[in-house]
Structure 1
Amino acid sequence: MKLDRRRLIGAAMALGAAGLASNVASAAPRRRSVASARSDFPWADRETYLNCALEHPLEKRSSSAMQEYIGYLTNGPDTGRTKYENRELQENVRGMFARLIGAKTTEIAFVPSTQIAENLVVDGLRIHESGGNVVTNDLHYGGSLFNYRSRKARGLDVRIVKHKDYTIDLADMEKAIDGKTKLVSLALVSNVNGYLHDIEAISDLAHRHGAYVFIDVIQAAGAVPIDVREMAVDLMASSAYKWLMGGRFGYQYVAEELHGGALRPVQFGGSGSGAKDARQYQVSTPNHVGFVCQNEALAYILELGIENIRTHVRPVIEKLQRELPAIGYPSITPRGNRSPIATFLVPDVEKARQRLKKAGVIVTLRNGKPGQMRVSPSVFNNLADIDRLVEALT
């Protein structure tokens, strides 16, 4: 791997953009707007749901399509077979996700989950065999940290950078990365507190040392703009059930130049057999009900527009950051952080849990002294939802 990789990626951007139109399946426009999005999520009328970092409610079109497909599975042959169990639908989903992250469709594989994709990356790069090391940080997903600590116990050189006040100092990452670093792995948006990494700077640093960059975007894709070429990342993965609004499977991005070379397939079978592009990394048979859901969900997200979604959520997060600290819940999410997640310290988790349950407000609460409360609004939430949260806690 050459050390001037960022320049190589930059030179390839124009070619990638030129090829994107021919590589991406486009859905017919069925315009929806952020202003009317609340009506697309019936859950919003039943309780104050502020927990999309755990799981996102289904939009109505996705739900209807899944019910139609389940009807076919229940009642036997009808249009469900030709409408949903076909390669065209799968490729349309692949194309829409590629469009969402600025990639080519040939760089996208379907995977069972983000965690499986990350394991395939670490194994496929053969880091242990090469004597290389992995650099990550403690704002990565807990399952990923467990994975790396387990590998460290078996002899892999793993370096976990510690956060400072729930942010990551680039200088600390720089100290951990060296000429033997094979992989820098992190969550673009942390599930802990929503911290959004400066991924361009980290990619630049990693590539100067000859390392590859993997990002877990499960807390970003569908809510935060992603462009794999501008970010200069090599590998990426996301499950679909959070901000991508449903579907129990995931996506893996593998930069074209890694196909079959630097990243070797380490599991085989299913729909990836014999492929020369990113599909060679697919390890399972098609998840038809997941494709049915994502075919509608991705179209919906693209109709709304990621920047429009982000702009809608921004004042909701800002209101949280103003009002919760004022009533005794200090924030551990940096002010101005542009993700849809904010986390606050909670002096009495059980008391907060009972109050929120009574008020019908759903968030993630973590036990501890102090505990934590993670709040993660989406496009269907509004400022009145935050009023209900604050009122329940006071």
Structure 2
Amino acid sequence: MTRRDVMLAAGTLSAGTLTMVDIVPAGAAAQSAPAQGKSTLPRQLPDKSSFLAGEGVYLDSGSQHPVSIGARAAVDTYLSKRMLDPAAAHYDLPDDGVREKFARLVNADPDDIAYVQSTTAGEQMVLRGLGLPQSGGHIVTDTLHFFGSLPLYEEMQRHGVEVTWVEPKDGRILLDDLKRAIRKDTRLVALSLVSTINGFQHDLKAVCNLAHAHGALVYADIIHAAGCVPVDLKGSGVDFSACASYKWLMGDFGLGFIYGTKAARALLTRTEYGYYGMSAFKPHVYPFDTPSGPPGDMIADYAYADTAEGTFAHGTHAHTVIAQLDHSLDYILGVGVSAIQAHAQDLINRLKRELPKLGYSLMTPPESTTPLVTCAYESAREKLGPKLAAAKIKMTVSANRFRVTPSVFNDHTDIDRLLAAVGHA
């Protein structure tokens, strides 16, 4: 019996259970309501039934994606087990299963995936494993990379690493500019597959081909890609990547994934010594242990797994988020990333047409197919903050720009409200 069979028999799968159905185009006939106690995949998008409705408009999933009703139920099932509820006695945390689902989502080998606290933690693990900044060398990155990583590479520079910053042209990082920046002594190219700033998406395979031709490794931050645009880690040839789960994976803070190919991991110096990465452990210091032998021998025999977990894993990680992702990844895989992307593009393309008519300057390339549109607007927070608050619209508004990131539950009525609220620039 599978874990799902056991849970069904025990009655512990309730609102978190997914019934797989096909997605049909918007406008198709409404389907009958799902059986009570089950959460079905939508037959069309937008999907408002899987998320709690509020009186406002939420257009900020690229900052934090709302938790779905089914994901909340999955967490409740896990917490029932933690509360020693007899009804949940047979619940088993799908630790390996969630890694396998994420691997399917991004086309990776599960053995090349490990859990990590955050995207930033993953990026820094790669740098430490390469001996940076102490070992020096040359790094190429770009200014559309995650803004939280800009100080990271400035610190690399401060400690003796040479860093080349590639700047965008018309909102794009050009492959020719990367080609000029990468040299024979370049050790790492670090970028965001999809930029959190304006939604620009690299041709990751082309970047990797270019970097590898010069002997450089490639790290990609995929937090704004996994779950909302197709990602093919194997096909791209990328060496390392990382993402957290609280954005487009519909998870929560405190847990994400790090990816490293076997060949790339072999180039790292071990800096992580977590017991979750061990494949074998036999102590010699506790009662009835096998003696370790002559004095001076090791107090325990151990080995690390030849996997990403063996390279990167530490100790315990957020079990509630694993329970949540067990549902959320089923939802994303069931609906399909292509359907999610197509739905978002319908809304995003309208914003790309209408916002310039209102006098706003697009930072997002017109051809971008990511669920993100950004406009540069001087004093945006000061000018738009009160308008959006009055209209009960939540989106990212920075000092001099604003960003709209719709998801599966948004529709054109939400876009109508946004356009009416911001008005003319």
User: TM-score scaled by structure 2?
Assistant: 0.81
Decide which structure has the larger Cα Rg and report it: 2
Residue 340 of structure 2: aligned partner: 309
Task: Tell me how far 1:71 sits from its aligned partner.
Answer: 3.9
Residue 33 of structure 2: aligned partner: none
Write the deviation string for residues 320-340 of structure 1: whole angstroms up to 9, x where unpaired: 001111112111101010111
Q: Does 1:257 align with 2:258?
A: no
Mapped contact 2:52–2:68 kept (Cα < 8 A): no
CA distance, structure 2, for counterparts of residue 136 and residue 80 of structure 1: 48
Structure 1 runs of 4+ off > 6 angstroms?
none
Residue 201 of structure 2: aligned partner: 196
Q: Does 1:70 align with 2:100?
A: no
In structure 2, give the amino acid aligned to 1:328: G
Residue 57 of structure 2: aligned partner: 48
Gaps of at least 5 residues in structure 1 are: 1-26
In structure 1, give the amino acid aligned to 2:411: N
Residue 114 of structure 1: aligned partner: 119
CA distance, structure 2, for counterparts of residue 323 and residue 265 of structure 1: 51
Q: Secondary structure at the match of 1:315?
A: helix
Mapped contact 2:132–2:156 kept (Cα < 8 A): no
CA distance, structure 2, for counterparts of residue 44 and residue 136 of structure 1: 40
Mapped contact 2:133–2:159 kept (Cα < 8 A): no
Q: Does 1:360 align with 2:365?
A: no
Task: Tell me how far 1:376 sits from its aligned partner.
Answer: 0.4
Q: Secondary structure at the match of 2:197?
A: coil
> 1:150-229 alignment to 2 at 5 Å?
150-229=155-234
In structure 1, give the amino acid aligned to 2:393: V
Q: CA RMSD in A?
A: 1.8
CA distance, structure 2, for counterparts of residue 141 and residue 81 of structure 1: 42
CA distance, structure 1, for counterparts of residue 269 and residue 252 of structure 2: 27
Q: Secondary structure at the match of 1:246?
A: coil
Residue 293 of structure 2: aligned partner: none
Mapped contact 1:271–1:286 kept (Cα < 8 A): no
> 1:1-394 alignment to 2 at 5 Å?
30-31=20-21, 32-33=41-42, 35-73=44-82, 75-80=83-88, 82-84=90-92, 86=93, 89-128=94-133, 130-248=135-253, 249-259=255-265, 261-273=266-278, 274-280=304-310, 281-349=312-380, 350-367=382-399, 371-394=400-423
C-alpha distance 203-81 of structure 1, shift in aligned 2 (>3 A): farther
Task: Tell me how far 1:197 sits from its aligned partner.
Answer: 1.1
The structure whose residues are more often helix, as a share, is 1
Q: Secondary structure at the match of 1:38?
A: coil
Task: Tell me how far 1:129 sits from its aligned partner.
Answer: 5.0
CA distance, structure 1, for counterparts of residue 43 and residue 132 of structure 2: 44
CA distance, structure 1, for counterparts of residue 45 and residue 177 of structure 2: 44
Q: Secondary structure at the match of 2:47?
A: helix
Task: Tell me how far 1:36 sits from its aligned partner.
Answer: 4.9
CA distance, structure 1, for counterparts of residue 379 and residue 131 of structure 2: 46
C-alpha distance 28-235 of structure 1, shift in aligned 2 (>3 A): same
Q: Secondary structure at the match of 2:91?
A: helix
CA distance, structure 1, for counterparts of residue 65 and residue 138 of structure 2: 35
Write the deviation string for residues 39-61 of structure 1: whole angstroms up to 9, x where unpaired: 24434443211101100011211
Percent of aligned pairs with the same amino acid: 35
CA distance, structure 2, for counterparts of residue 255 and residue 265 of structure 1: 15
Mapped contact 2:116–2:256 kept (Cα < 8 A): yes
CA distance, structure 2, for counterparts of residue 37 and residue 115 of structure 1: 32
In structure 2, give the amino acid aligned to 1:42: F
In structure 2, give the amino acid aligned to 1:232: G
Figure out how many residues of one structure are paired with residues of the other and give that number: 360
